[in-house]
Structure 1
Amino acid sequence: MQSIRDRLEIILSRLANRAGNEKVYTKLYAGAARAAADASDARRKAGIGLGPLDGRVVSVKDLFDVAGEPTTAGSLIRAGAVPATRDAAIVQRLRQAGAVILGKTNMTEFAFTAIGDNLHYGTPGNAADPSLIPGGSSSGAGVAVGEGTSEISIGSDTGGSVRIPAALNGVVGFKPTARRVPLAGAFPLSMTLDSIGPLARSVADCAIADAIMAGQEPAVLQPITLAGLRVGIPRGVLFGDTQAEVAGAFETCIDRISQAGARAADLSIDDLIAEMRLATRRGTIASMEGAEVHADWLKSDTSVPVDPHVTGPLSRALAIPASAYIRTIRRRGELVAAMAERLEAVDVLALPTVPMVAPSIAAMAGDEALRDSTEGLLLRNTQVGNQFDLCAISLPMPGTKLPAGLMLVGKHGDDHRLLRIAAAVETLLGR
């Protein structure tokens, strides 16, 4: 049986071979990871273990505090920030569970955009084809799992930032119900919408990491029987502009889920989406709350370069009055309740995670209008989960040449049941 240290060394040598052009990781903890791997091997030899995460190679997004160093959150502005005095809550929990934390993964600046590019630390190439975008904002997290340089990556998801890179890199990405996992020590974007979730090769691995981060005992994930499961398909605005190959693969998935005995039926939520768009017309919740986080440097004349795709929306949101923000939050509360009522008719929603496969990095860099429209499409389906306070998971969807995702959306707080449903769907589609 291969030792954990040996498995780690294989990954470290891969990363060493490309050290001059590393874009997936922004920081490696080789010494600490080796020590953690050796400790895990020693426990295994002695017949004692810390649970299912013991000895697993894990990476964390560059917005989680690691004691003794600044948390840069993908930005140069934060490079000289005061070092963190302690690990983020989830980093502590992962370490206690025996995880071998290999390093910090690259991300879009301040977790703000969905393409996955970073002007300062480079853009990680997609795991399927390095000329393609990785998706964001947890860009390095998606690529690391896709290419096998970490077994589990921890990301954050404010509008789709775990599920978009999961879909585009062909891995599983889980966004829990907000506030299920503590945000302490995670650099914020939106206190209302931020969620912390794992990316991995399997639903089971996501479930283990999620349980540990949520402070729960990880249990063996029992897949649910699909017979009689009520699957709602929110056809309408969330299905527009979907690439033919992605749409075809989705319909094939739904056919297979139906053949397994699930009852799939259309469930319109277009009216609620339209109301949410109306409520956030002056400014999105993420941009308004993000503007508060970044107000100090936005108001000053900083000489440090910041991605204009980040400064533009944040600066505009800074000018929105508090009354408009409060009204938006109150309206969101009403719409969250309306969505909860609507979803009583189903067990889960199913739709493509994103309506496309990954476009090229060069195309995004060369055409501003195309970049904007692509970003809107990447966020369109995933952000529904955040806006309406739901949990959601993206599974690799068979039947496309490049990776694409099938998204299952569960009710608020229904995280464990959603993972059990996803495990059953994963098995079905893997056959």
Structure 2
Amino acid sequence: MPEPATLCAAAEELARGRLSAVTMAEAALARIADPAGEGARAFVAVQAEQALVTARAMDAMRAAGRAPSPWAGIPISIKDLFDQAGVPNRAGSTALADAPPARRTAPAVARLERAGFVVLGRTNMVEFAFSGLGVNPHHGTPLSPFDRATGRLPGGSSSGAAVAVADGMGLAGLGSDTGGSCRLPAALCGVVGYKPTAHRVPREGAFPLSPTLDSIGPLARSAACCAVLHALMAGEEAEAPPVPRPVASLSLAIPDDTYLFESLEPAVAAAFDRAVARLEAAGARITRIALPELAEIPQANATGGFVATEAYAVHRSLMRQAGGRYDPRILARIQRGGGMSAADYLALRDDRARIMAATAARTAAYDALLCPTTALTPPPVSAVADEMEYHRINMLLLRNTSAFNFLDRCSISLPCHAPGEAPVGLMLTGARDGDRALFETAMAAEEALRAVTAA
């Protein structure tokens, strides 16, 4: 029988005894090991033996009526950014080749393991999570599922997680999102990626990039899948799961005349317009609104921004010890963070608080904001060999997603392209701490878009 596409479908098959955890794990591991596939680049460590032992244990517990949750036995991956007890956390870098094994597992991972998810291994990522392209010169660059003959960027930094989900190497992946690192690769790989309100999921045990902006989120094949994983990681599993709202009850806003819509690739603009038309046809009320504060974000970041500055603080010691092992492009980006003054940093914090408050007031009446997740469809890997193109494409890919990390809004990317087209993401952004409401909105939008995206 075909493998279930979603967590809910897999849970039902497991509950009815029509599928076993071992069968699912073996199928996923076979895809990872397939020399014709992307497994060797999507994963930096495959934990096959541990995965099969766990899968057998989940099957035995389910047979005894003691499965720890409905999700017990479902295979997933975790980004090479999270601590696992007894495993070195190298954050996609050879600079941490000598890192000792972690003493304990990161809470976000441990909560998924307690629910019975089967961890297949650690997925590839941009070194230290500091780029939106998905390129990793140490471990290779996994390719977007679109047009593999050309070889296209998967997006980053959770590149391996997105490719793994797209290729059936597990039904979900755990990633991080500081400037778009869950949503961006989801958009370029045709899956769903979620960025929560940052504080809702514990960030302990995840190698930091920017403590101000870092968040922990899932990549999967539906908004409902992401809702399941988020609830577990946030410790909210006891609450009733979110359900789709009626599409006709939705009030959505498009931030008009903002940089979010500049330089859109024609395929992105067409897919976005088609998605908006589909939502309106289903009854959603969509309004174009002014959101001038968005234009203040690049100005606020002009003195250096949180990411480079905080990354420099994290990496100062390691750069002295092992700077020669870094990807030179990542090293240069981190080093630029050393130039920000304390006064500029404090001013940035104040600017952020002011912009967050102003945008919250302007958008309070709407269930979500709509815009394209990225300005581009997956660019060829060859395009970023040129230094100037590397930076230009990276900035365009991260531009839209990073705005909402700055605002600490919850945000989700849904596929909105038609079958056969290059992947395009529709980004829905909710209020700070409005995670549950955003899932209800996103699940409704997903239903309305299904006719467009169904293969």
Q: Structure 1 residues 77, 388: closer, same or farther in 2, change over 3 A?
A: same
Q: Structure 1 residues 21, 344: closer, same or farther in 2, change over 3 A?
A: closer
Of 20, 23, 26, the match for 1:9? 26
Q: Distance in 1 between the 2:86 and 2:58 partners? A: 24
Of 373, 393, 397, the match for 2:392? 373
Are positions 1:359 and 2:376 aligned together?
no
**CA offset at residue 335 of structure 1?**
1.0
Q: Distance in 1 between the 2:417 and 2:449 partners? A: 7
Is the Cα–Cα contact under 8 Å of residues 53 and 209 in structure 1 kept in the other structure? no
Q: Distance in 1 between the 2:144 and 2:381 partners? A: 9
Are positions 1:272 and 2:289 aligned together?
no
SS of residue matched to 1:302: helix
Q: Distance in 2 between the 1:172 and 1:201 partners? A: 6
Matched with 2:325 is 305
Matched with 1:190 is 210
Q: Distance in 1 between the 2:402 and 2:412 partners? A: 12
Q: Structure 1 residues 20, 362: closer, same or farther in 2, change over 3 A?
A: closer
Number of equivalences: 428
Spell out, residue by residue over 1:259-297, the C-alpha distance to the aligned partner (whole angstroms, 9 max, x if none).
22211011122x212222111101021111111100113
Amino acid across the alignment from 2:389: L
Of 215, 219, 244, the match for 1:199? 219
Structure 2 unaligned residues grouped into runs of 5+: 1-17
**CA offset at residue 316 of structure 1?**
1.6
Amino acid across the alignment from 1:16: A
Of 398, 401, 422, the match for 2:417? 398
Spell out, residue by residue over 1:330-364, the C-alpha distance to the aligned partner (whole angstroms, 9 max, x if none).
21111111111111132210111011210111121
Is the Cα–Cα contact under 8 Å of residues 144 and 189 in structure 2 kept in the other structure? yes
Of 423, 440, 453, the match for 1:420? 440
Equivalent runs, 1:145-164 vs 2, <5 Å? 145-164=165-184
Amino acid across the alignment from 1:178: A
Q: Distance in 2 between the 1:239 and 1:281 partners? A: 20
**CA offset at residue 21 of structure 1?**
7.5
Q: Distance in 2 between the 1:145 and 1:340 partners? A: 33
**CA offset at residue 303 of structure 1?**
5.7
Q: Distance in 1 between the 2:322 and 2:170 partners? A: 36
Matched with 1:38 is 56
Matched with 1:245 is 267
Spell out, residue by residue over 1:401-424, the C-alpha distance to the aligned partner (whole angstroms, 9 max, x if none).
111100000000000110111111
Computed over aligned residues only, the root mean square deviation of the Cα atoms, in angstroms, reads 1.6
**CA offset at residue 173 of structure 1?**
0.4
Q: Distance in 2 between the 1:314 and 1:60 partners? A: 24
Q: Distance in 2 between the 1:337 and 1:221 partners? A: 27
Is the Cα–Cα contact under 8 Å of residues 75 and 120 in structure 1 kept in the other structure? yes
Of 302, 305, 309, the match for 1:284? 305
Amino acid across the alignment from 1:10: A
Spell out, residue by residue over 1:99-151, the C-alpha distance to the aligned partner (whole angstroms, 9 max, x if none).
00110000000000000000111111112333110100000010000111011
Of 66, 70, 84, the match for 1:66? 84
Is the Cα–Cα contact under 8 Å of residues 31 and 39 in structure 2 kept in the other structure? no
Spell out, residue by residue over 1:35-77, the C-alpha distance to the aligned partner (whole angstroms, 9 max, x if none).
1111111122223432232111110000000111221001111
User: Which deviates the most, 327-336 or 134-143?
Assistant: 327-336
User: Which deviates the most, 226-235 or 146-155?
Assistant: 226-235
Amino acid across the alignment from 1:361: V
Are positions 1:385 and 2:404 aligned together?
yes
Of 96, 101, 121, the match for 2:119? 101
Q: Distance in 1 between the 2:228 and 2:390 partners? A: 36
Matched with 1:343 is 363
Matched with 1:235 is 256
Q: Distance in 1 between the 2:247 and 2:29 partners? A: 41
Is the Cα–Cα contact under 8 Å of residues 76 and 304 in structure 1 kept in the other structure? no
User: Which deviates the most, 11-20 or 312-321?
Assistant: 11-20
Q: Distance in 2 between the 1:194 and 1:20 partners? A: 27
Is the Cα–Cα contact under 8 Å of residues 257 and 428 in structure 1 kept in the other structure? yes
Of 74, 77, 94, the match for 1:56? 74
Are positions 1:256 and 2:278 aligned together?
yes
Q: Distance in 2 between the 1:159 and 1:319 partners? A: 20
SS of residue matched to 1:184: coil
Is the Cα–Cα contact under 8 Å of residues 178 and 193 in structure 1 kept in the other structure? yes
Is the Cα–Cα contact under 8 Å of residues 135 and 153 in structure 2 kept in the other structure? yes
TM-score norm. by structure 2 comes to 0.91
**CA offset at residue 228 of structure 1?**
3.4
SS of residue matched to 1:50: coil
Amino acid across the alignment from 2:279: I
Q: Structure 1 residues 345, 66: closer, same or farther in 2, change over 3 A?
A: same
Q: Distance in 2 between the 1:364 and 1:318 partners? A: 25
Identity value in percent: 43
Q: Structure 1 residues 410, 21: closer, same or farther in 2, change over 3 A?
A: closer
Is the Cα–Cα contact under 8 Å of residues 177 and 214 in structure 2 kept in the other structure? yes
Are positions 1:212 and 2:229 aligned together?
no
SS of residue matched to 1:68: coil
**CA offset at residue 301 of structure 1?**
6.1
Amino acid across the alignment from 2:232: I
Q: Distance in 2 between the 1:66 and 1:206 partners? A: 22
Is the Cα–Cα contact under 8 Å of residues 229 and 263 in structure 1 kept in the other structure? yes
